Amino acid sequence: MELTLELREESGLQWVLERLTPMSPFGRAAARALRWYAPGEEAALETELDNVALALELWNAAGPVSPEPEPCCCGAPRLDPASLKDTAALLRGVTRCLPLFHDIRGSLDRDPENPFDLVELFEIKHFLVTLEQLTQAYAKLPPFQDLAFVSMDESLDLLDPDGRRLPAFSVSETYHPDLGPLRAEKAALERSIRAAGEEEKASLLDRRHRLTVQEDLLELEVRRELTRRLMARKADFLANMKALGRLDLFLAKAKLAKRYGCVRPALSGEARIALRGLRHPQVAEELTQRGEEFTRLDLDLSAGCTVITGANMGGKTVSLRSAVLSLLLCQCGFFVFARSAELPLFHEVALILADTGPGSGGLSSFGREVHLLDRLLQHTRDRRFFLALDEFARGTNPQEGAALARALVRYLGTLDCVALMTTHYDGVSDVAGAHYQVAGLVRDVRGDEGDDPRSRIARRMDYRLQSAPPGAPCPRDALRVCRLLDLEPALMDLFQADL
């Protein structure tokens, strides 16, 4: 499945990824190319989650990562406390090395007959020295599953013939038998030039030039041989870069889970979703900055379409985005923003919001919805998918919109999918598999008439999702919302008189 920019931004996944902090260029590359675990790949995803859980255990043993807004309920496997005695120091040995790596993939993308220059050889040696330091620390940590490094000792010894393990590189005299005598002759000549008078200096300088050319040719010969031997290990270099990226990404995913108190999802083989204490981190952070608190959600979704109804500004769209974000994170091997989560795998996860935006191609809001829906249905024939729809068909006339929404709910019930739809249309929940309502404007608050209208609504709104019977009428809160938003009194009078 393609994680488009539009889907990442609308679901909040982009916000999460921007807070993922891999330390190496290989970890950042892995984060840009996240793997999507589709149905049938549950075992591979469990391995990924096991590795994130282990990384989280290591972070917990090493101490705080950053201020934690909530305690972590990650379900990480417990390690023997004795084995974690020196974990902090060992983990620092790994995390100290990761930022030191430079991306040398461009240097390796070459014809082996094209020799490395001195800067490239320095970068390769720096990579190998840092890799050796990291793997020595990593070897003392509890092992991650399916993660191993290929020994590069031979290549490092090639670039470090004196065994000093310093990142600096120069063409050593040990690489060619003629280099030592030539450089000794050149050094003696330099001393003669410094002591010579003006008459003999010209001939000495000419001789030095000829020696320099010979030295350059010998060094070129050495660099050609070094390049040939190093390029023969290209596959091992790339394998180690991939392993570095995976290790870095495990640590970054775990650090994110520790920071935000995320939970490991349990994988379900059935088309059933159970989320407890669900929250959307981006919305929660925005609310916290305003001195408000996110109301956690509980959701149970099964095959077919579940409908959410409720007041305007009641958080229905946030519910959709939270559910979609959880699925996207799970299927990319992340822990999720909830207290508990039981999730199946889908071939496709889609979020269709009512507002037009980039990619609408000049279509109206309704036209864009229909286009995206048709594309999804065509693409997911005989495949399991999840679909979230926000106020579907609200952009057309109410009679036809309600009929189309009801028809879609019935049609989705015949497919291998789990769907979630918000709506203000009556009658849609009659044909849905399940029905939730936002509790709504149920709190009685007085004395805040001069406050910000948005805050006044938030104080009165109960954002919890409550099970409702099929066919329960949609709440009628528009009048109260308009009043709380201080709509022009004369217009309010006309509105109320026409109800």
Nearest-angstrom CA–CA distance, 257 and 57 = 11
- Tell me how many degrees the CA angle 295-301-304 measures, rounded to the nearest 5: 140
H-helix or E-strand containing 451?
none
Predicted pLDDT of residue 69: 42
| 95-109, 110-124, 369-383: least confidently modelled range | 369-383
Compare 441 and 147 and report the one with higher pLDDT: 147
Q: Choose among 386, 353, 349: nearest CA to 369.
A: 353
When pLDDT is averaged across residues 468-473 and rounded to a whole number, the result is 80
CA dihedral 439, 441, 443, 445 (to 10 degrees): 160
Q: What is the pLDDT of residue 238?
A: 98
Most confident of 42-56, 207-221, 301-315: 42-56
Task: Assign 67 a pLDDT band (cuts: 50, 70, 90).
Answer: very low
Confidence of residue 329 (pLDDT cuts 50, 70, 90): very high
Decide which of 378 and 365 is more confident: 378
Can you give the pLDDT at residue 281? 97
The model carries a pTM of 0.87
Which tens digit of pLDDT belongs to each residue from 90-109?
A: 899 999 999 999 999 999 99
Residue 344: pLDDT band (50, 70, 90) is very high
Rounded CA-CA distance 246/93 in Å is 17
Distances in Å between the Cα of 325 and the Cα atoms of 7, 67, 69 are 10, 23, 19
Confidence of residue 347 (pLDDT cuts 50, 70, 90): very high
Cα 64 to the center of its chain, rounded Å: 21
Q: CA 479 from chain center: how many Å?
A: 41
Residue 258: is its pLDDT beyond 50? yes
Segment 321-346 mean pLDDT: 98
Give the pLDDT score at 414: 94
Provide the pLDDT confidence category of residue 274 given band limits of 50, 70 and 90: very high
Higher pLDDT, 173 or 362: 173
Q: What are phi and psi of 434, to 5 degrees?
A: -155, 165
Residue 68 pLDDT grade (very low, low, confident, very high; cuts 50, 70, 90): very low
Q: What is the pLDDT of residue 221?
A: 95
**Residue 389 DSSP SS3:** strand
Contact 261, 72 (CB under 8 A): yes
Decide if pLDDT at 223 tops 60.
yes
What is the average pLDDT across 198-221?
90
- Under the banding of pLDDT at 50, 70 and 90, the label for residue 64 is low
- 71 pLDDT above the threshold of 50: no
Reported as a single tens digit per residue, the pLDDT across 350-368 is 999 876 455 455 567 888 8
Domains of the chain (ranges; CATH) run: 263-497 (3.40.50.300)
Distance CA 278, CA 330 (A): 13
- pLDDT, residue 11, reads 97
- Cα–Cα nearest to 278, from 251, 260, 256: 260
Q: 């300088």: which residue's tokens?
A: 205
Residue 143: predicted pLDDT: 92
pLDDT of residue 79: 55
- Above pLDDT 70, what percent of the chain? 91
- 324: pLDDT strictly greater than 90: yes
What are residue 440's DSSP bridge partners? Answer: 462
Q: Check the CA dihedral 207-212-214-215 and report its sign.
A: positive
Q: State how far the Cα of 338 lies from the Cα of 388, in Å rounded to an integer.
A: 18
The contacts of residue 243 (CB under 8 Å, 6+ apart) are: 147, 148, 149
Summarised one tens digit per residue, pLDDT across range 452-465 is 777 777 777 788 88
